[in-house]
Chain A
């Protein structure tokens, strides 16, 4: 994923061939061929993986009960789309998980940003809160799952889990970004008589946009982890629920289908943020 992404940002659209020297054209051709080779190799690797996964259980190199196989996933998916089994509709489960993850992500970002701003505003507050924040961040939040379940019930506890996992690292990352702003940039606006609110609006926030995007990229994954873990404990719907349910009745095709959908979901969410990042970068050029 990150490899594709880095490639796309590091090598912007290549210029047209016309009017360039022969050597330069050869160079551009080589770059293009190389990029194409990378894509093909990635596609081949994926196909190879799927083929092996299909063949290995069928040839009984591995136990099909344990691994399922791609064609079984496709038929499980079909069944789930038609709501033919008693597991419910796959779109419903996907939607439930997606909404939980997006809400968890958005709330963690807003909350994290708000707390980071408060800590920036009051150094005293920061000094007081800092050790607690570090401990909260280091604590394995998964340990809180049963507590949240008892306190908050089966739906709210899932959101709480997503937020608990994502929010502390967001606060720390964004606040760190604030602190790395060149103090001379702050001094510059102070010479114009900027108030603290103006320093925040004109220097600190716009200067931290790259950090915020980095925090978003990490957050997307973490919010999804929180949601799935929360669903494991308590839910009646969602992909996490399907995974637990499928494993309890030994239907690995159900489990693998849910995991595949999760993979697609996290990829799409990550790509959305990467696209957002590119839009912002383009504005700055």
Chain B
């Protein structure tokens, strides 16, 4: 399998007048086309930084990022980035929010509008396309943000803790929906999360990162024997016998100490 996304010995330092922060140190990673990987690590270990590098909005201090074998020089249409919160613009309707990507990229707006409406319908927001964001619930807003990300038709999805602002039940339900949608459309996904259960239940492979400076500490292929070869939905995966084992191993690797 050729790599869809390839990180070659990446390092990144943030410079400010007060400090020189080494956020990532020699990170190498291949993500295959259609693969769903999750990255877990403690706060501040450089997960968001890593996504920003793949998205092309940050340049690495060392190493190279390749998408489809070509070096990344700036933001690309192939990448869709979903941030930690929805950041829907309050002055735009739901549909107008979804269309911001095509507008910026200068795509055919008629086709984009059709796509946007269709995406919103599919995610249960068909009646809300002309509403303003403040009239939606948290889960609906996050679905609108997903539609916005997908409206430019990216092959690669970068998800930065997309469910962290939601309550637990909505979170579980949305995780099921989103992984279903992304798997069906055969997207390549990099999901960043604090939540080990979320990572294990959704991803094909979980990458564990060390504390700052972020390095890859371990990788785990996630397979569930019981489901007969097919990948169970995230909610079901949480009840598979392997789930607890993966969880415990990754928990141990994260060195989470309470009351340090």
A residues sitting closer than 8 Å to B (CB atoms) are 182, 184-185, 187-194, 198, 202-203, 206-207, 209, 284-285
Are the CB atoms of B81 and A191 closer together than 8 Å?
Answer: yes
List chain B residues, Cβ under 8 A from A184.
83-85, 87
| Secondary structure of the B contact surface, majority rule | loop
Cα distance, A284 to B89, chains bound together (Å): 11
Q: 7 tightest A-B contacts by CB?
A: A193-B75, A191-B81, A192-B104, A192-B101, A194-B104, A188-B87, A206-B91
- Encode contact with A along B63-95: 1 for CB under 8 Å, 0 otherwise: 000000000001111011101110101111000
Residue of B nearest to A194 (CB): B104
Cα distance, A189 to B89, chains bound together (Å): 11
Nearest CB of chain B from residue A212's CB, rounded to whole Å: 12
Are the CB atoms of B76 and A193 closer together than 8 Å?
Answer: yes
Q: Count A-B pairs with CB separation below 8 Å.
A: 51
Are the CB atoms of A191 and B100 closer together than 8 Å?
Answer: no
Are the CB atoms of A192 and B83 closer together than 8 Å?
Answer: no
Are the CB atoms of B57 and A190 closer together than 8 Å?
Answer: yes
Could you say which of B74, B101, B152 has the most chain A C-beta atoms within 10 Å of its C-beta? B101
Q: B177 an interface residue at 8 Å Cβ cutoff?
A: no
Cα distance, A126 to B79, chains bound together (Å): 34
Are the CB atoms of B100 and A202 closer together than 8 Å?
Answer: yes
- Encode contact with A along B170-206: 1 for CB under 8 Å, 0 otherwise: 0000000000000000000000000000000000000
List chain B residues, Cβ under 8 A from A188.
81, 83, 87
Other-chain residue from A192, A203, A206, A285 in contact with B132 (beta carbon distance below 8 A): A285
Are the CB atoms of B91 and A207 closer together than 8 Å?
Answer: yes
Are the CB atoms of A192 and B90 closer together than 8 Å?
Answer: no
Cα distance, A112 to B57, chains bound together (Å): 31
List chain B residues, Cβ under 8 A from A193.
74-77, 104-105
Are the CB atoms of B57 and A209 closer together than 8 Å?
Answer: no
Q: B55 an interface residue at 8 Å Cβ cutoff?
A: yes
Other-chain residue from A182, A202, A209 in contact with B87 (beta carbon distance below 8 A): A182
Are the CB atoms of A198 and B87 closer together than 8 Å?
Answer: no
Q: B255 an interface residue at 8 Å Cβ cutoff?
A: no
List chain A residues, Cβ under 8 A from B101.
192
Known: A184-B85, A198-B104, A202-B104. A191 touches B91 (CB 8 A): no
Q: B219 an interface residue at 8 Å Cβ cutoff?
A: no
List chain A residues, Cβ under 8 A from B132.
284-285
Could you say which of B79, B104, B132 has the most chain A C-beta atoms within 10 Å of its C-beta? B104
> What are 26 of the A-B contact pairs (CB < 8 Å)?
A184-B84, A184-B85, A185-B87, A185-B89, A187-B57, A188-B83, A190-B57, A191-B55, A191-B57, A191-B75, A191-B80, A191-B83, A192-B75, A192-B101, A192-B152, A193-B74, A193-B76, A202-B103, A202-B104, A203-B89, A206-B89, A206-B92, A207-B89, A207-B91, A284-B91, A285-B132
Cα distance, A188 to B83, chains bound together (Å): 7
Residue of B nearest to A280 (CB): B91
List chain A residues, Cβ under 8 A from B100.
189, 192, 202
Are the CB atoms of A284 and B90 closer together than 8 Å?
Answer: yes
Nearest CB of chain A from residue B97's CB, rounded to whole Å: 10
Nearest CB of chain B from residue A217's CB, rounded to whole Å: 19
Cα distance, A202 to B85, chains bound together (Å): 19
Cα distance, A191 to B83, chains bound together (Å): 10
Cα distance, A191 to B91, chains bound together (Å): 20
List 9 extra interface pairs beyond A191-B57, A194-B104, CB under 8 A. A184-B83, A184-B87, A185-B89, A191-B79, A191-B83, A193-B76, A193-B105, A202-B104, A207-B89
